[in-house]
Amino acid sequence: MAIILVVFIAGYFFQNYKVSSISSELQMYQQSLEQLQLSASLAGQNSTVACAILKSDLSQVAGQVQTLSNQVQEADLTGSQQYDNLVAEFMYERIDYWLLGQRIADQCRGNMTTVLFFYNPINCNACVLEGNELSFLGQNYTDLVVSAVDGSFNMPLISILNNMYNLSPAKYPAIIINSKYVVEGFQNTTQIKDDLCAYTNISGFCK
Amino acid sequence: MVNPSDVYTFGIALVTLILAVFWLLIFIDINNERKGEGTQRTKKTGKLRTVAVLIPTLAEGGELRKTVNTALASDYPKELFKIYIVLNKSSPAITRSIAYSLRSGRVKVIEAPMNGKAAVMNYALKNFIREELLLVLDADTLINRDLMHKLVMQFKSKKVGGVVSSVKVYKPRNIIEYLQSYEYMLSIMARKAMSVLGGLMVAHGAGSMFSTGIIKKVGYFDEKNYTEDIEMGLRLLVNGYLVENAIDAVSYTIVPNTLKGLVRQRLRWFSGFFVNILKYRKRIMETKHRVLGLIIVPMSLVSISLGIVVVIGLVYYSVSLAVYLYTLALNTSLSYAFSSSFQLSPFSLNTIYMLLIVLTAIGLSSLFYSLRSVNGSLDAFKDTIGILIYSIFYSFFLSFVWLASLIMLSIRREAVGWGTPT
């Protein structure tokens, strides 16, 4: 009994540690995003050097997003108020990241593509698979900015996005290319590439 | 909202806790019994009884000679025991030749006019054996010098119908034999636990001793049953007799050294278990020893069922994971598929997993110390690895075989010969 009690107490403290760790990671990410937004504001339109720097910074932020996303997913402290608040905050930041990416893509005019991926974390194996494939593409092609949103999350901003693109959880997974083009249903890597090349021209995999 | 996988994990943690406590209690009990037996060694147990050592043999060769020699080397008074080698009708010439070469004033060779282990044993019992106690040895079983004495000591009351020894694996050489040696050690403790509760229902044929009179009273061995040892243990219990366990009475048996041989043997044993439980299902519930019907048999069936459920779950999960990995690797790369699917991170650790890890560690430790108390000594490194491999792989293998035996029985129902429920 004593051992079980110790484990539960340790579990409680570890839970708090996870929340505080995610919280500080989120703060760092928010700072990086704010810096990048400022940089984007300062850079001129279509400045080659500035665009190269912005793309590079965006890639670094993408890495932070991925790390944070893994931590949030693995922590899985649903039911804890602090955790739920962190998840909501992280969701906002992911949309912010996508908007910033779109802004930089517009500023830099071409050769950058944004993808907003809508998924449902519950009972959607296709979402898991497509999410991993998009992550793979995002890691291997720096001109591709990928952000993911839990479309079933109870948040006004997500409801607005769903309405804007006429989406619902029944249609997930779905991707929005360059804020304009909607592709519903599961797409494997080849199909995603084909979709991206149909609407954009990413160097590296579009012929 | 409660996550189903957390419920499943909590269930496993709870079962692990129960098992950890169970093994600890067994360990404590075994040690207490060893201390008790040490102080009682000088006490008289009353008149020593005559023992018939019955060795049914079919086609054993050199092993038969070893078995007889270890029996002859027993420290039990020579005038009080006799060895009976019973040949099957179709025993080959070489086995007969070895058997007859062992014939002496203390070793009798009987030629049974039929085949089948139970049938030849009954033939010997009905026509030749007059001793009070019957020690059954397989023809590839070796016994310690003090086994007979220790088994006889357990016949303390007229209610004792049988006494079971602790059977271990004889000189394991390859990994299959080593894994079976852990299985046999665990079986010793399981039998100990069952005898403490008064529900030991397996009287194995590698060194179990019976009261000859009681065997005759309950109707001899079942000749239609290919696991007559399990059947006899159950039959004794449902007829109100006791089956005791002498943990320090040690015998050794030669086990299958190939996977095929192991699977065949276990299929036979496990099928036999189900057949016998079904045969005695009504008597088990009616018996005065409620422990059998309320605890032992239900616990056995629950643990077998749990093992089968876990195995099915594992197979389903493994197949799903393999399909997912294949699909992901096809569309991305193999290294990415593995790295994204198997990420070890402290963030995935929650209270339930921590509890599971701690309880598993406690369970394995108590299991290790319990096995050491049974075996006398264990190599800290080699046997820890062995126990881990046993726990992770071999126990799942056994669950597969339980499932296979259940399926086999369901399909071949009539061929097995279910007998009349009694």
> What pLDDT was estimated at residue B5?
63
Q: What are residue B245's phi and psi, to 5 degrees?
A: -130, 130
Per-residue confidence (pLDDT) for residue B421, from 0 to 100? 33
How many angstroms separate the CA atoms of B258 and B261, rounded?
Answer: 5
CB B81 within 8 A of CB B53: yes
Answer whether residue B126 is part of any domain.
yes
- SS3 state at B219: coil
Beta-carbon separation of A135 and B351 below 8 A: no
C-alpha pair distances (Å), B272 with each of A200, B59, B195, B258: 69, 22, 20, 21
Chain A positions in Cβ-Cβ contact with residue B347 (cut-off 8 Å): 18, 21, 70-71, 74-75
CB B27 within 8 A of CB B370: yes
* Contact present, A33 and A93 (Cβ < 8 Å): yes
CB B150 within 8 A of CB B143: no
Minimum Cα–Cα distance from A80: chain B residue: B1
- In a domain, residue B192? The reply is yes
pLDDT at A157 over 60: yes
Is A158 contained in some domain? yes
Amino acid residing at B117? K
Domain around A45: 28-199
In chain B, the percentage of residues whose pLDDT exceeds 70 is 86
Nearest CB to B327; choose among A7, A78, A129: A129
Question: No. of H helices and E strands in chain A?
Answer: 6, 4
Q: What is the DSSP letter of B112?
A: -
| Residue A19 covered by a domain | no
Residue listed under structure tokens 């086994």: B147
How far are the Cα atoms of A136, A152, B250, B251 from residue B255, in angstroms, in the given order? 51, 58, 16, 13
Over residues B131-136, the mean pLDDT reads 96
CB distance A124 to A172 below 8 Å: yes
Q: What is the pLDDT of residue B292?
A: 80
Mean pLDDT of chain A: 86
| A-chain residues near B348 (CB < 8 A) | 74-76
For residue B284, tell me if it sits in a domain. Answer: yes
Task: Assess if residue B298 is contained within a domain.
Answer: no
Q: Where are the beta strands (DSSP E) in B27-98?
A: 51-57, 81-87
Inter-chain CB proximity A71 and B347 less than 8 Å? yes
Biggest CA pair distance of chain B: 80
> Per the structure, how many domains does chain A have?
1
pLDDT for the residue A106? 85
Which residues of chain B does A4 touch, with a Cβ-Cβ cutoff of 8 Å? Answer: 17, 355
The region of weakest confidence among B41-55, B101-115, B177-191, B318-332 is: B41-55
Regarding predicted confidence, which is higher, B59 or B122?
B122
The predicted pLDDT at position A114 comes to 92
Supply the pLDDT for residue A92. 92
Residue B174 has pLDDT above 70, yes or no: yes
Looking at the complex, report in whole angstroms how far the Cα of residue A78 sits from the nearest Cα belonging to chain B: 8
Is A79 close to B1, i.e. CB distance below 8 A?
yes
Kindly determine whether residue B350 and residue A11, on different chains, have CB atoms separated by under 8 Å: yes
Q: How many contacts (CB atoms, under 8 Å) link A and B? A: 65
Mutate to test the interface with B, among A70, A80, A132, A195 (most CBs of B within 10 A): A132
Whole-complex ipTM: 0.74
pLDDT score for A58: 86
For A56-80, give one letter per residue: b (16+ CB within 10 A) or e.
ebbeebbebbeebbbbbebbbbeeb
d(CA A191, CA A4): 50
Give the confidence band of B318 by pLDDT, cuts at 50, 70, 90. Answer: confident
Strand partners, B163: B209, B244
Residue for token pair 């995003």? A33
Q: Report yes or no: B371 and B182 within 8 Å, Cβ to Cβ.
A: yes
Contact A71 B349 (CB under 8 A): no
Range of the domain at B128: 48-288
The pLDDT of residue B11 is above 60: yes
Backbone angles phi, psi at A123, to 5 degrees: 55, 40
Over range B200-216, report the average pLDDT: 91
* Residue B216 binned pLDDT confidence (cut-offs 50, 70, 90): very high
Cβ density class A109-124: b for 16+ within 10 Å, e for less: eeebbbbbbbbbeeeb
- Quick one: pLDDT at residue A77? 76
Contacts of B323 in chain A (CB under 8 A): none
Q: What is the pTM of this model?
A: 0.76
User: Per the domain annotation, does B36 fall within a domain?
Assistant: no
| Structure tokens that stand for B369 in this block | 């110390």
Ramachandran angles phi, psi of B92, nearest 5°: -70, 170
B226 in a structural domain: yes
Task: Work out the average pLDDT over B73-90.
Answer: 95
Q: Is the pLDDT of residue B90 over 70?
A: yes
A195: three-class secondary structure by DSSP: helix
Inter-chain contact A71–B332, Cβ cutoff 8 Å?
Answer: no
Q: Let me know if residue B64 belongs to a domain.
A: yes
H helix or E strand, kind and range, residue B165: strand B160-169
pLDDT at B38 over 70: no
Sign of the dihedral through C-alpha B72, B133, B145, B143:
positive
> CB B247: neighbour CB atoms within 10 A?
21
pLDDT band at B374 (very low <50, low <70, confident <90, very high): confident
State the CATH number of the domain containing residue B233. 3.90.550.10
pLDDT on residue B345:
75
Distance from CA of A125 to the nearest CA of B (A): 9
Query: Looking at CA atoms only, how far is residue A203 from chain B in angstroms?
Result: 18
Q: Which residue has the higher pLDDT, B102 or B225?
A: B102
Percent of chain A residues topping a pLDDT of 90: 28
CA distance A18 to chain B (A): 7
**pLDDT tens digits, residue range B344-355?**
677 777 887 888
Q: Is the Cβ pair B351, A11 closer than 8 Å?
A: yes
Partner-chain contact A125 B333, CB within 8 Å: no
The predicted pLDDT at position B414 comes to 43
Number of domains in chain B: 1
Instruction: Identify the contact set of chain A against chain B, taking CB-CB distances under 8 A.
Output: 3-4, 7-8, 10-12, 14-15, 18, 21, 70-71, 74-79, 125, 128-129, 132-133, 135-136, 188-190
Structural domain includes residue A15: no
Q: What is the pLDDT of residue B44?
A: 46
Q: Quick check: A14 and B345 CB within 8 A?
A: no
Residue of A nearest to B330 (CA): A189
Q: Which of A3, A8, A79 is facing B351, going by the closest CB pair?
A: A8
Burial (CB count <10 Å: 0-12, 13-18, 19+), residue B24: middle
The mean pLDDT value for A182-206 works out to 84
Lowest mean pLDDT among A186-190, B176-180, B222-226, B345-349: B345-349
| Chain B contacts to A (CB-CB under 8 A) | 1, 3, 17, 324, 327-328, 331-333, 336-337, 340, 343, 345, 347-351, 354-355, 358, 362
pLDDT the model gives residue B418:
34
Which three-class secondary structure state does DSSP give residue B285?
Answer: helix
Residue A21 lies inside a defined structural domain of this protein: no
Of A102, A101, A112, the C-alpha closest to A65 is: A101
Dihedral sign, Cα of residue B213, residue B214, residue B216, residue B220: negative
CB contact under 8 A, B350 and A15: yes
The answer to whether residue B83 sits within a structural domain is yes
Which tokens belong to B247?
A: 């943990």
What SS3 state is found at B140?
coil
pLDDT at site A59: 85
Determine the pLDDT at residue B198: 77
Mean pLDDT, residues A79-105 taken together: 89
Q: How confident is the model at residue B33 (pLDDT cuts 50, 70, 90)?
A: low
A125 within domain boundaries: yes
For residues A83 and A129, the answer to whether their CB atoms sit within 8 Å is no
